[in-house]
């Protein structure tokens, strides 16, 4: 069975602080995909990143960076110099070897960035 755990339910930081959101996953598949989505109060999911299981390179996109470590089944997300607009719920998700499979979402981490 597939499972995604996000241990941090809520995080509060002050603007300009760095913050890391943790994600740990479980799967028996050797090929799988990991995702991060942002869900602002409007509810619409905003795609942030997709990573397949064979690509362990870390990725940086502006203030966002991701650290994928298969050895610990983790796919952590760091926001550098956080801003108030980063306040949202962030979901880590897993999809199986067939990319057309459904997503398994983690419970989400609610990030509040205070001015």
Partner 1 sequence: GAVVSQHPSWVICKSGTSVKIECRSLDFQATTMFWYRQFPKQSLMLMATSNEGSKATYEQGVEKDKFLINHASLTLSTLTVTSAHPEDSSFYICSARGQTEQYFGPGTRLTVT
List residues near partner 1 by CB under 8 A.
37, 42-45, 47, 91, 95, 99-100, 102-108
Strand partners, 12: 112
CB 71 → partner 1: shortest distance, Å? 26
18 versus 107: smaller Cβ distance to partner 1: 107
CB 32 → partner 1: shortest distance, Å? 14
> What is the C-alpha separation between 57 and 90, in angstroms, rounded?
21
64 versus 110: smaller Cβ distance to partner 1: 110
Token digits for 6? 């996000």
End-to-end CA distance of the chain: 41
Chain mean position to CA 85: 17
CB 81 → partner 1: shortest distance, Å? 27
64 versus 103: smaller Cβ distance to partner 1: 103
41 versus 115: smaller Cβ distance to partner 1: 41
For 105, other C-beta atoms within 10 Å of its C-beta total: 15
The C-alpha angle 11, 93, 96, rounded to 5 degrees, equals 160
CB 28 → partner 1: shortest distance, Å? 18
């Amino acid at each position: 069975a597939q499972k995604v755990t996000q241990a941090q339910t809520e995080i509060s930081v002050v603007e300009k602080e760095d913050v890391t959101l943790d994600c740990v996953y479980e799967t028996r598949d050797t090929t799988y995909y990991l995702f991060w989505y942002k869900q602002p109060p409007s509810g619409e999911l905003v795609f942030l990143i997709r990573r397949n299981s064979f690509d362990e390179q870390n990725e940086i996109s502006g203030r966002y960076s991701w650290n994928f470590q298969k050895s610990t089944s983790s796919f952590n997300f760091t926001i550098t110099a956080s801003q108030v607009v980063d306040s949202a719920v962030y979901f880590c998700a897993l999809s199986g070897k067939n990319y057309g499979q459904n997503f398994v979402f983690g419970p989400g981490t609610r990030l509040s960035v205070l001015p």
